[in-house]
Amino acid sequence: MRNKSTNNMLRIRIMVMMLTFFLFVINSQENKTSNPVVINVERGINNLSRLKVSDFGKTIRYIPLETTDESIIGANPVVKVLKDFIIVEYPIPTALSSNSVQGVCLLFSKKDGRFISKIGHFGQNPAAYTNCFSWTDENEEFLYFQRMPNQLIKYDMKGNFCGKVEFLSSGLASYYIITNSSIIGYFDQLSHHNSQFALRIFDNNGILKDSVSAFLQNTKIGAEDILGLSIFQGTFAQSIYGSWARTGVFIFQYKNSERHIIPMNTARVWKNNNVIRFKQDFVDTIFTVSGSKLIPSFVFYSGRFRWPEQERRSTRNTNERIFIADISENNSYVFFQCIRGLYAGLDKNDKSKPILYHCLYYKKTGEIKIGRNSDGIEDDLTHFMKFKPLGMSTAGEFVSFIEAWEVLDWIDNHPQVKNNSKLSFLKEFR
């Protein structure tokens, strides 16, 4: 075991991208029928697989990120991959974290991992963001950040401040999709001022154009009913709840023994090519957003594991129920993580634990493969460390992220790696 605090290589982080073999070849199955496609989660849970990297794609690429005095990466970053760039940021509000690099957004080249620039800054001046969780525009020329109470500020990919969008008719959303013609905001129970709306559609100047009603009404949190609040962050949160909890989760405990878990900046609205999708928590359907209309495209069938919407806060007899957590999509796959027993272990007398699963739905064949997170995903292509999928890049590639200390420990236990030509990048660690 190496000393994690003294080894200079600890500053290097590795980005792993799984390039999908069918990335731009297979058309989405839902375009061939007017009926939504059924994703049979129950069948996958009843027939678990030992997932391998080859289930996700045919090639894998490793990108060491450059270390400079300006680009030192701390623990538990949020990593996003665009077509040409890699973004590393720390979006959890400073009040909730003691991380010394809190409020930093770093931009790297996707081609070779070269550090490009630091984007923006945390603070109170007009060009500062109050949360450095970012979104990019459709052409990936700018990054947008929240500035309380009602602005998105904009920077280009060289770190230049380029103005703001002000939402006079609403506060800030939890998550955004920014296209050439509109800004779509997803409002969760923490971000919205009116529980009637889940999506709000603005023009690029922040003027409200339309709204989409929430399916689950009367979910607004009443302070008088709350008994306690817990906040889970970092590696601990992700080990339990997956990438759905990448920026942390709020867990509310009510006086009637019910619970409610709300992740920060979760992607309940996403884009695959020119199609925009939306799924609300505890609703079984993925919808395509067409203007202010929602068109059913995929339905999750959970069978005996189904969690009824009206019991979404119940902690009684829910440890066998399935909650659909993080979702991402490309032309070939719907990749999602689901949690069995979302509220398991939260009470001190409950010794059970949530079970996290990785799930792959193949659009062309209708096949579904589900494996336990605890089993890991074997790298059968390059025979490196187990793959830990975080979702997809904007180009539809599967993405993972490995801490340098993990690589060093793995090398210590696998000295034969020096003979593996597919892992030549590891020479930087020797």
Residue 123 is assigned to a structural domain of this protein: yes
Residue 317 is assigned to a structural domain of this protein: yes
Range(s) of the domain holding residue 216: 12-429
Residue 3 is assigned to a structural domain of this protein: no
| pLDDT at residue number 26 | 28
In this predicted structure, the answer to whether residue 198 has a pLDDT above a threshold of 60 is: yes
Residue 201 is assigned to a structural domain of this protein: yes
Residue 6 is assigned to a structural domain of this protein: no
Close Cβ partners of 329 (under 8 Å, ≥ 6 residues apart): 270, 272, 277, 335, 392
Q: Is the pTM of this model over 0.95?
A: no
Around 401, how many Cα atoms within 13 Å sit in the side-chain half-sphere?
23
Q: Reading across the β-sheet that carries 259-263, which strands appear in turn?
A: 226-232, 249-254, 259-263
pLDDT, tens digit, 9 for 90 and up, residues 247-277: 889 999 998 889 989 888 889 999 998 899 9
Count structural domains, the chain. Answer: 1
- Rounded to 5°, angle at Cα 247 from 246 and 249: 95
- Rounded to 5°, angle at Cα 90 from 51 and 386: 20
The percentage of residues in the chain with a pLDDT greater than 70, rounded to a whole number, is 86
In this predicted structure, the answer to whether residue 283 has a pLDDT above a threshold of 90 is: yes
Q: Tokens for 307, please give them.
A: 């969690």
Residue 221 is assigned to a structural domain of this protein: yes
In this predicted structure, the answer to whether residue 22 has a pLDDT above a threshold of 50 is: no
pLDDT, tens digit, 9 for 90 and up, residues 91-116: 754 334 444 445 789 999 999 999 99
Least confident among 22-26, 47-51, 83-87, 295-299: 22-26
In this predicted structure, the answer to whether residue 3 has a pLDDT above a threshold of 60 is: no
Residue 39 is assigned to a structural domain of this protein: yes
3-state secondary structure the chain: CCCCCCCHHHHCCEEEEEECCCCCCCCCHHHHCCCCEEEEHHHHHHCCCCCEHHHCCCEEEEEECCCCCCCCCCCCCEEEECCCEEEEECCCCHHHCCCCCCCCEEEEECCCCCEEEECCCECCCCCCECEEEEEECCCCCEEEEEECCCEEEEEECCCCEEEEEECCCCCCCCEEEECCCCEEEECCCCCCCCCCEEEEEECCCCCEEEEEECCCCCCCCCHHHEEEEEEECHHHHHHHHHHHHCCCEEEEEECCCCEEEEECCCCCEEEECCEEEECCCCCCEEEEEECCEEEEEEEEECHHHCCCHHHCCCCCCCCCCEEEEEEEECCCEEEEEEEECCCCCCCCCCCCCCEEEEEEEECCCCCEEEEEHHHCCECCCCCCCCCCCCEECCCCCEEEEECHHHHHHHHHHCHHHHHCHHHHHHHHHC
Residue 1 is assigned to a structural domain of this protein: no
